[in-house]
Structure formats: C-alpha cells, structure tokens
Amino acid sequence: MVRRFLPALVAVLLSGCSSVSYYGQLASGQWQLLRAREPVAQVIADPSRPPLLREHLAQSQKARTFASEHLHLPDNQSYRLYADIGRPYVVWNVFATQEFSLSPETHCFPIAGCVAYRGYYNQGAARGEAALLKQRGMDVSIGGVEAYSTLGWFNDPIMNSMMNWGDERLATLIFHELAHQRFYVKDDTEFNESFASFVEQEGTRQWRAARGLAPLSNATLQQRDQFIRLILDTRKRLEALYAKPLAADVMRQAKAAQFERLRSDYRQLRDSQWGGDKRYDAWINQPMNNARLLPFGLYDRWVPAFAALFAQEGGDWVKFYAAVEKMGGLPVEQRRTALKQLEGVEL
C-alpha cells in the first residue's frame, strides 16, 4: 500500500506544479532516494564496504546522537540511514529573478509552501530550465545541493553527496536539515534557512567544544562574516538602484558597476586584511547576476537575529525553539519587525 501511493504522495508534498514532467521527476527522484536507503549500522558492520565510508558513517552517528541529546533536535531515524545516489549532488536548484529585481521567482507546494527555487534531480534538466528562463531575459543561477529535508515526512538518509568535505561538514549538514524538521514556516524561505543556518553554526561550535576541539579560528569566522557582509551590502545597493525610475540601458550599466564594485571591494579586503587568502576567489570571479546573490539573502539574512534570540534565551535550546515558534506564528510583517529588532541587540 505504501509503495502504491508513495510517488503520488511525494509529488503532493514536494510539488504542486502544473508541469506533468516536473511533477513526475520529483516523485521519481524521491522514490529512488527512498529505495536506496539502508541502515547506517548495517553499513558500518559490513567488512566488504569501503573502510573510509564506514569510518565517516561511524563519526556521523556521534554527531547525530549529539544533535538530539544536546541540541534538542528531532530524535528519529533521519540520518541513521545511508543512501548512495551515485552523483555529487542530490538535486540542482534553479534560482531566478527579473533582470532588475532581487525578489526570487517562487514556486509553491501544498505542504512546504512557497520557496525561492525549483529543484531538479537531474543536472541536465536544471540546465534546460535555466536556459528557458534566460531566453525570457531573467537572471538565473544553478546550485548543486548536498542535502535537503522532507520536513519529517520521511526518514531522510545521509547521502554520499553529504560526505565530500569531511566529518565536520557532514555534522553541520545533519544539524541544518534536522533544524528544518524541528520548525518550519510555510512561505518564508529567509526565516527557515536563516534559522537552520544559525542552528548549524551554533550546533557546530558546541559539537567542537564537546569533543575538546578548539573553536574555529577568529580569522576563519571573520573572513566568512566579512564575505557575507560584502554580498548583503551589494544586495542593499542593488535594491536601492532597482527602486529608481531609470531607463533600462542606464539601469543595466549601473547594475554592472555594482557587481564590479563587489569584486573590487572583495579584492581589497582579501589583500589588505586576509593576507591574500583566495578561498572565495572562484566564486567572486564567476559571471555575476542577481540570482547568484539570492542564497546569501536566504541563508544568512537573519542569522544575527537568531543569534541574539539564542543569547536572550540564555543559550537554552528548548527556550530558544519555543521563542522561534512564537515568532514563526506571527504575521509575516510582524515577524520581520521582530527579527529587525533582534538584529540591533548587542551580543
């Protein structure tokens, strides 16, 4: 009975799109992922499996237990299962905006609500969608996704796509995706992703401390924060620009100038304060458009506000989640006002 109705259920949960082909690839992709799952404990105990895989999975289960016992994240079978999906990313998200806007093209699903991207299990399909959007004159960006949450509807597995950057990165992904299971607001991607990003960052800090590891260096954290700030500042300048009544050709030139300023500001920061560290060079040197800036606005916009809220609740995870749930129940404008007020709190 479950197998019979699962593809339709997946499509209802994750889709709502009128395109039959898109609807079908969502159902098929999720169904293949669920079929590939196997218990992590079984993989670890199997001597025929690669030793490095077994070791990574063993370490992941320590982080998984920490997530529930110390971060008070859901205690279920998610991330106690493993799936080799045979590709580097589980899905490819297509982000799109109008040429002179930073508002994402949203796609609405019955349960997940409206989100600021469209996901494809096949990279070629994602590229095809991006090409069609570009033909319409839109700014488009494609991003590979290591993991996603089904918001507790299924037991989400650890996938091989989550294991490319070491044990700590795998732990952060588990914390992030379980945060989505812990609390999720329909139709507010900025709130949801910023909340999960904060849980990921603070959870990782506590996970390192629990293992007796030194905190990430101030230089590393400062570089990350400064880079994000450059992007967010660029977004603000572009938003102000797009609000002006300018002719399209004039607006286009001013837009290009803002992206050149971003690159210039980055290089100055890199060379004057980072000792020439080029960790973000590959990103900054790619072709730039509005859509490439979208994830920063979505995943990082309210992280400082959630950090302030966590401090306000005395670093108590249970009280913090209760406060997040209360805020999530507010009408959207009141919610954003509350987040802006928290942004101004000194930590």
In whole angstroms, what is the distance from residue 189 CA to residue 107 CA? Answer: 11
- Per mean pLDDT, which range of 21-30, 107-116, 247-256, 322-331 is the poorest? 107-116
Place of tokens 């997940």: 112
In whole angstroms, what is the distance from residue 170 CA to residue 146 CA? Answer: 10
Handedness of CA 179, 299, 203, 347 (dihedral sign): negative
Rounded to the nearest 10°, the torsion over CA 169, 172, 177, 179 is -170
Q: Which helix (H) or strand (E) holds 23?
A: helix 20-35
Predicted confidence (pLDDT) per residue in 185-237, tens digit: 988 989 999 999 999 999 999 999 999 998 877 788 889 889 999 999 999 99
Report in angstroms the alpha-carbon separations of 347 from 251, 286, 287, 311, 317: 39, 35, 37, 7, 17
Handedness of CA 15, 183, 222, 170 (dihedral sign): negative
Assigned token pair, 161: 């796509």
In whole angstroms, what is the distance from residue 44 CA to residue 58 CA? Answer: 7
Assigned token pair, 88: 């580097």
Instruction: Reply yes or no on whether the pLDDT at 97 is more than 60.
Output: yes
- Per mean pLDDT, which range of 49-53, 147-151, 310-314 is the poorest? 147-151
Report in angstroms the alpha-carbon separations of 261 from 223, 230, 267: 18, 10, 10
pLDDT value for 110: 65
Report in angstroms the alpha-carbon separations of 236 from 104, 290, 344: 15, 12, 17
pLDDT value for 265: 97
pLDDT value for 125: 94
Amino acid residing at 155: N
Predicted confidence (pLDDT) per residue in 127-183, tens digit: 999 999 999 999 999 999 999 899 989 999 999 999 988 999 999 999 999 999 999
Report in angstroms the alpha-carbon separations of 237 from 14, 261, 268, 290, 297: 34, 11, 19, 12, 13
Residue percentage of the chain with pLDDT more than 90 = 78
pLDDT value for 59: 96
Nearest to 342 by CA among 299, 322, 317, 313: 313
Return the higher-pLDDT residue of 11 and 30: 30
Assigned token pair, 125: 């399909």
Cross-sheet strand order for the sheet of 139-145: 118-120, 91-97, 139-145
The 3-class secondary structure across 260-308, one letter per residue, is HHHHHHHHHHHHHHCCCCCCCHHHHCCCCCHHHHHHHHHHHCCHHHHHH
Instruction: Reply yes or no on whether the pLDDT at 2 is more than 90.
Output: no
Mean pLDDT of 45-65: 97
pLDDT value for 5: 32
**DSSP state, 99?**
T
3-state secondary structure (DSSP) of residue 260: helix
Return the higher-pLDDT residue of 25 and 271: 271
**DSSP state, 104?**
B
In whole angstroms, what is the distance from residue 137 CA to residue 87 CA? Answer: 31
Task: Name every residue whose Cβ is closer than 8 Å to that of residue 273 and which is 6 or more positions away in sequence.
Answer: 226
